[in-house]
């Protein structure tokens, strides 16, 4: 309510206003009747004067009653606006926005610093008997105090030590922590004060349930305090994308970054292992996301720490973004082929030898470490040790081998199936394709003469991206005479035949990738082996399927997310003593313990969420087992500042009404906004004014005869 009273019990004193009325009626005198001569004109004049004096007496009575009511109201402590006081001084729960955007500049400090100082000032001004608790809402949402504290200097000094992080504002976590603290509050209702820049955050379905739990808690009232940043240029790096394929040292690979430039022509730098290696300029309009591409010369094998950065601006937290570039020593490729027959010739069953030559020409030591096994004798151990498994017209694999293949695929490996021989269609339909989640194969297809040609469905697909027009034309010139009709299902079609049959399809399976070519490499089946695009196309497919090769030990996360990484080249000795597992960075607090968990025979390292962007290094003694890049959430750069009005509507939609807006009040004004404007002086002044008017009117009628006497 706008009007409230500090001491509402004193309002019972309003009954004293009845005293003048009672005295008025008790003091009235009856008029005595006396015989007199017939003075008709004198009686008419006296009657008019009596009526005038009667009105004046009632007006004087009303002024006395109103003056008494004004005195009683002033004594009760009237307040306009603010919040009614609670027993014991009230409970105040402050939610302090400590997200990355709160590090934006404000005056000589930051938005977070200003919001924190505001909370400190309120805590110092709260009346005796008040209790306070503070929720720090950043990468991690947690209460500052172990339990509610009395308001005062000690609590204010503790709030002054709070620091921001590089994470986002998690409203779901805030609502749940607020519910927990409201249940423990010493008094009710609880005033929840949300202080920060009130930036918009991505909506989540879980908000409704969390807000409902808070509403069901004993009475809560929500107040907003918006603290805005100084106007100025602000942009940042939103995302960094490295090629998700097996990289080869020395090749030129594109690294793409999504940025929000603060101005047109802003420069962004790509750094790798502490050295600037490339630069790009954003030419689009300021304030809008743009995509930049850096040409990176791939370094030697290993895990490399990289940054995309720009000069510092009004919000420095997002001016650089980390990433991990993983370069495998060699991509382990297992080629599994059907049993060779007498008529297969030098090419082998399905032309598997052409594939081996394309990956390792002349058995050279290149980026691919190729192992060849027949499908009737290959081992599950070979599958587990391979980044990519290529099946060329395979025979039946057997249940154990097939399960191992699917498990490797779902765990992040790559599988490439080349099948064009009609004899393998039945085993594929019966077992392998269903296990991989693929629809069955239709009848084998054939075309006479030069066969049918290829059509590129998506030139921008990562398997084809970067190929020039001549290279794409060479692919379309390849003739196909025998193939199997594939049903793509949920898979994406990359290449198809001119008749519409899918030729090359791919899909995600768990953490891995699957590609199927509806033909083999036999010269009588197609011209792929003789095409100048055979080597680059087959190498592209295998490298793309091996996207996680060399990424053991590498992971990327956002501030506020828990870390989980599979250790690279982890020997049993490195993991034998979990007490030796440590992690360093980012920022202070290095040398913390790392967690070790096992999923079957696969070890995983992890840690709780971190509050700052940067790199986390997992170590065992002197061995480096993993590298994690922790980045600022993109919403901290691209989010819209909704302000108090937007948040009022957002919270109302969740069933939480905002009872007061503290925006604009500073210093000592906070206490006045919380408690309302003190109307007691105005009430007493009104009482004096009413009495003055009463005296003036009474003096005006004092010299006249009272006809009732």
What pLDDT sits at residue 708? 41
Is residue 189 domain-shared with residue 263, that is, in the same domain? no
Going by C-alpha positions, the residue among 680, 575, 700, 679 that lies closest to residue 626 is 575
Which of 545, 564, 583 is at the close of a domain? 545
Domain range for 441:
331-460+471-545
Is residue 106 domain-shared with residue 214, that is, in the same domain? yes
More confident residue, 523 or 679: 523
Whether 98 maps to a domain, the answer reads yes
pLDDT > 70: what percent of the chain?
Answer: 85
Answer whether residue 53 shows pLDDT above 60: no
The alpha-carbon radius of gyration of the chain (Å, integer) is: 40
Is residue 379 domain-shared with residue 523, that is, in the same domain? yes
Q: What mean pLDDT value characterizes the chain?
A: 85
Whether 42 maps to a domain, the answer reads yes
Domain CATH number, residue 322: 2.60.40.10
Q: How many CB atoms lie within 10 A of CB 227?
A: 23
Going by C-alpha positions, the residue among 426, 418, 430, 386 that lies closest to residue 404 is 386
Question: Any residues with CB less than 8 A from the CB of 237 and at least 6 apart, and which?
Answer: 257, 258, 259, 268, 308, 309, 310, 318, 319, 320, 321, 637
Helix (H) or strand (E) holding 239: strand 236-241
Fill in the DSSP letter of residue 288: S
Is residue 370 domain-shared with residue 494, that is, in the same domain? yes
What pLDDT sits at residue 704? 46
Answer whether residue 665 shows pLDDT above 70: no
Whether 638 maps to a domain, the answer reads no
| Dihedral (CA of 307, 308, 311, 317) sign | negative
**575 band by pLDDT with thresholds 50, 70 and 90:** confident
The rounded distance, in Å, linking the Cα atoms of 504 and 457 is 10
What pLDDT sits at residue 24? 56
Q: Which two tokens stand for residue 255?
A: 């690294």
User: Do residues 356 and 372 make contact, with C-beta atoms less than 8 angstroms apart?
Assistant: yes
Whether 709 maps to a domain, the answer reads no
Coil, strand or helix at 683: helix
Domain CATH number, residue 561: 2.60.40
Is residue 495 domain-shared with residue 617, that is, in the same domain? no
Whether 138 maps to a domain, the answer reads yes
Answer whether residue 517 shows pLDDT above 80: yes
Rounded to an integer, the average pLDDT of 41-49 is 53
**Predicted TM-score (pTM) of this structure:** 0.75
What pLDDT sits at residue 363? 63
Whether 637 maps to a domain, the answer reads no
Is residue 104 domain-shared with residue 44, that is, in the same domain? no
User: Do residues 324 and 306 make contact, with C-beta atoms less than 8 angstroms apart?
Assistant: yes
What pLDDT sits at residue 86? 46
Is residue 285 domain-shared with residue 431, that is, in the same domain? no
- Total structural domains within the chain: 5
What pLDDT sits at residue 703? 46
Is residue 311 domain-shared with residue 348, that is, in the same domain? no
Question: How far, CA to CA in Å, does 211 sit from each of 171, 373, 405, 506, 655?
Answer: 10, 59, 46, 43, 7
427-462 residue pLDDT tens: 888 888 898 888 887 678 888 888 899 999 989 898
Fill in the DSSP letter of residue 669: H
Q: Which two tokens stand for residue 202?
A: 């991505």
Rounded to an integer, the average pLDDT of 304-324 is 93
Is residue 537 domain-shared with residue 410, that is, in the same domain? yes
Domain CATH number, residue 99: 3.40.50.410
What pLDDT sits at residue 330? 86
Whether 149 maps to a domain, the answer reads yes
Is residue 507 domain-shared with residue 655, that is, in the same domain? no
Answer whether residue 554 shows pLDDT above 80: yes
What pLDDT sits at residue 533? 93
More confident residue, 345 or 578: 345
Torsion of CA 467, 471, 472, 474, to 10 degrees: -160
Phi/psi for 571 (5° steps) reads: -80, 160
Helical packing angle, 18-26 and 40-75, nearest 10°:
150
Whether 244 maps to a domain, the answer reads yes
Which of 518, 545, 572 is at the close of a domain? 545
Question: How far, CA to CA in Å, does 168 sit from each of 252, 634, 635?
Answer: 35, 9, 7
Phi-psi region of 67 (alpha: psi -120 to 50; beta: other; left: phi over 0): alpha
Is residue 146 domain-shared with residue 134, that is, in the same domain? yes
Is residue 116 domain-shared with residue 196, that is, in the same domain? yes
The rounded distance, in Å, linking the Cα atoms of 92 and 104 is 26
Q: Which of 132-141, 522-531, 542-551 bottoms out in mean pLDDT, i.e. has the lowest?
A: 542-551
């Amino acid at each position: 309510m706008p009007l409230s009273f500090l001491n509402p019990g004193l309002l019972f004193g309003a009954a004293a206003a009845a005293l003048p009325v009672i005295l008025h009626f008790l003091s009235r005198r009856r008029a005595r009747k006396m015989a007199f001569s017939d003075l008709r004109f004198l009686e008419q004049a006296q009657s008019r004067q009596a009526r005038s004096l009667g009105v004046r007496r009632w007006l004087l009575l009303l002024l006395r009653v109103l003056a008494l009511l004004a005195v009683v109201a002033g004594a009760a402590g009237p307040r306009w606006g603010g919040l009614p006081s609670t027993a014991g001084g009230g409970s105040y729960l402050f939610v302090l926005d400590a997200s990355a955007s709160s590090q934006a500049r404000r005056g000589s400090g930051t938005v977070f610093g200003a919001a924190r100082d505001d909370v400190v000032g309120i805590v110092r001004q709260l009346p005796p008997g008040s209790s306070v608790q503070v929720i720090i809402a950043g990468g991690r949402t947690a209460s500052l105090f172990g339990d509610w504290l009395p308001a005062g200097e000690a609590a204010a000094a503790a709030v002054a030590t709070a620091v921001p992080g590089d994470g986002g504002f998690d409203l779901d976590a805030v609502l749940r922590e607020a519910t927990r603290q409201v249940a423990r509050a010493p008094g009710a209702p609880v005033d929840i004060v949300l202080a920060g820049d009130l930036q918009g955050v991505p909506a989540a379905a879980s908000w409704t349930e969390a807000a409902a739990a808070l509403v069901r808690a004993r009475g809560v009232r929500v107040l907003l305090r918006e603290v805005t940043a100084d106007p100025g240029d602000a942009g940042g790096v939103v995302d960094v994308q490295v090629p998700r394929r097996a990289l080869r040292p020395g090749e030129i690979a594109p690294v793409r970054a999504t940025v929000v430039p603060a101005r047109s022509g802003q420069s962004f730098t790509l750094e790798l292992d502490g050295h600037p290696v490339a630069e790009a300029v954003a030419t689009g309009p300021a304030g809008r996301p743009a995509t930049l591409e850096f040409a990176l010369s791939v370094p030697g094998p290993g895990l490399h720490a990289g940054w995309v950065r720009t000069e510092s601006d009004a919000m420095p937290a997002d001016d650089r973004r980390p990433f991990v570039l993983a370069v495998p020593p060699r991509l382990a490729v297992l080629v599994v082929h059907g049993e060779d027959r007498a008529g297969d010739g030098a090419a082998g069953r399905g032309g598997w030898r052409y594939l081996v030559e394309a990956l390792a020409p002349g058995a050279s030591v290149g980026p691919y470490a190729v192992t060849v096994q027949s499908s009737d004798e290959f081992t599950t151990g070979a599958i587990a040790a391979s980044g990519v498994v290529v099946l060329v017209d395979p025979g039946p694999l057997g249940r154990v081998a097939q399960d191992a293949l699917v498990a490797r695929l779902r765990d992040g490996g790559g599988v490439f199936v080349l099948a064009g021989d009609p004899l393998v269609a039945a085993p594929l339909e019966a077992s392998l394709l269903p296990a991989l989640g693929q629809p069955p194969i239709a009848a084998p297809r054939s075309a006479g003469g030069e066969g049918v040609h290829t059509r590129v469905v998506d030139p921008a697909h990562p398997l084809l991206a970067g190929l020039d027009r001549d290279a794409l034309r060479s692919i379309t010139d390849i003739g196909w005479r025998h193939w199997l009709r594939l049903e793509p299902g949920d898979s994406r079609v990359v290449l198809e035949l001119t008749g519409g049959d899918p030729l090359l399809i791919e899909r995600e399976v768990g953490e891995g990738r699957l590609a199927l070519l509806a033909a083999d490499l036999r010269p009588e089946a197609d011209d792929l082996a003789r095409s100048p695009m055979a080597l680059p196309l087959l190498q592209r497919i295998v490298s793309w399927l091996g996207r996680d090769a060399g990424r053991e030990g590498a992971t990327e996360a956002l501030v506020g997310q828990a870390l989980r990484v599979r250790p690279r080249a982890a020997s049993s000795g490195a993991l034998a003593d979990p007490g030796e597992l440590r992690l360093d960075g980012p920022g202070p607090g290095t040398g913390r313990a790392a967690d070790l968990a096992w999923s079957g025979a696969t070890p995983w390292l992890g840690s709780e969420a971190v509050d700052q962007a940067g790199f986390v290094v997992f170590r065992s003694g002197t061995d480096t087992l993993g590298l994690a890049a922790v980045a600022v959430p993109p919403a901290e750069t691209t989010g819209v500042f909704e302000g108090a009005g937007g948040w009022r509507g957002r919270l109302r939609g969740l069933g939480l009404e905002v009872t007061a807006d503290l925006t604009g009040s500073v210093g000592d004004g906070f206490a006045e906004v919380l408690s309302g404007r003190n109307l007691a002086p105005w009430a007493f002044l009104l009482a004096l004014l009413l009495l003055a008017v009463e005296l003036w009117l009474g003096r005006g009628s004092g010299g006249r005869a009272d006809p009732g006497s």
